[in-house]
Amino acid sequence: MEATDAQVRRARNCRLQIIRLQISVNGVLIIDKPQGMTSHDVVNCVRRILGERSVGHLGTLDPSATGVLPIVVGHFTRLAQFYTDSDKKYEGVIRFGFATDTYDADGEATSASQNVILNEEAVRRLAAEFRGVLRQIPPPFSAKKIAGVPAYKLARRHREVKLEPVQVKVKALEILGVSGDCAEFRAHVGSGTYMRSIAHDMGQRLGCGAHLGRLRRTAVAEFTIEEAHTLGELETKVRQGRAEDIFFHPRKLLPQMPSVTATDENVALIRTGRAVNLPEMSKAPLVKVFHGQRDLIAISTRIAGTLFHPSIVFPASEG
């Protein structure tokens, strides 16, 4: 959903007339990022809404894009290491007829505009060529670094940006329909894949230029748009003293890792960094250890048999 200018300014400045509850929460929020905000803007808003300094995100989303932005809060920021290679899912529109310097609708045109009437079957065949393992050149306006400097900073100074191709994986790219010069798509891609580059490269293949007209992220790893909340909804829950209602259930985090519930005796040992015997987990190398249903206390590594050592320990939340 596109935010108005007033909403964006309000969210960016976070001048929220709410009770600043100084709560300490370990958790994950799925924020539906509005158009016009950077991922860092969202992080800053969540910090101020919750009164919590330790906040981060699990994967940058371009300012012009909307959708799923997972936010880690408190000691759960330490979970970010497990999400560096997460798959993403998107829905959006590619507009054909001219390219832009940013490869999206926010940039300046870099080619003459052409009148294009798309053939849906031809666009579907073209999209099929972009599935699988590809060598992709990131957009010049991106966070990729050249000699330690983000490419977008060089591009803004009108400096030459020469990025090397990187290997990416496009697991699915489906054209949902075409209308005039626009093609609507759905995609499932591996980490590091730029949909902006796919749009740009498709335009080059057709010889008419193209850019990403609209993008909405619908999933990152196990986090989906159906479970996302707006910043306004978070603000309301904080006012009501019910912020934890919209935190992602910790049992659903990192589904590739089995969950075990520790005894009170083992919880005390784990919190002091001691190895303990846990229920047999079919040789799983890593497990999530809970105290009760919601209190994730550790990520533990198998030493041998049922003996696990806590590699990450999460102190208890206070509130």
Question: Which pLDDT value is given to residue 119?
Answer: 95
Active site residue 62: yes
pTM over the 0.85 mark: yes
Give pLDDT, residue 19.
38
Distance, in Å, from the CA atom of 211 to the CA atom of 31, rounded to the nearest integer, reads 26
Reference 30, options 215, 226, 193, 192; nearest CA is: 226
pLDDT at 279: 83
User: 10-residue block means of pLDDT along the chain (319 residues)?
Assistant: 57 44 74 95 96 94 94 96 96 97 90 93 97 91 55 51 84 97 98 95 96 97 98 95 92 96 95 91 88 95 94 78
pLDDT reported for residue 137: 86
Beta strand segments in the chain, E? 27-33, 55-57, 66-73, 88-96, 132-136, 145-146, 149-150, 166-179, 182-189, 210-220, 223-224, 259-261, 276-277, 286-291, 295-304, 307-313
Go through the domains of the chain in sequence order and give each one's CATH number: 5-82+222-248 (3.30.70), 88-220 (3.30.2350.10), 256-313 (2.30.130.60)
Q: For residue 226, what pLDDT is reported?
A: 97
Q: Residue 16 has what pLDDT?
A: 39
Of the residues 5, 32, 41, 62, only one is catalytic, namely 62
- Number of residues that this document lists for the chain: 319
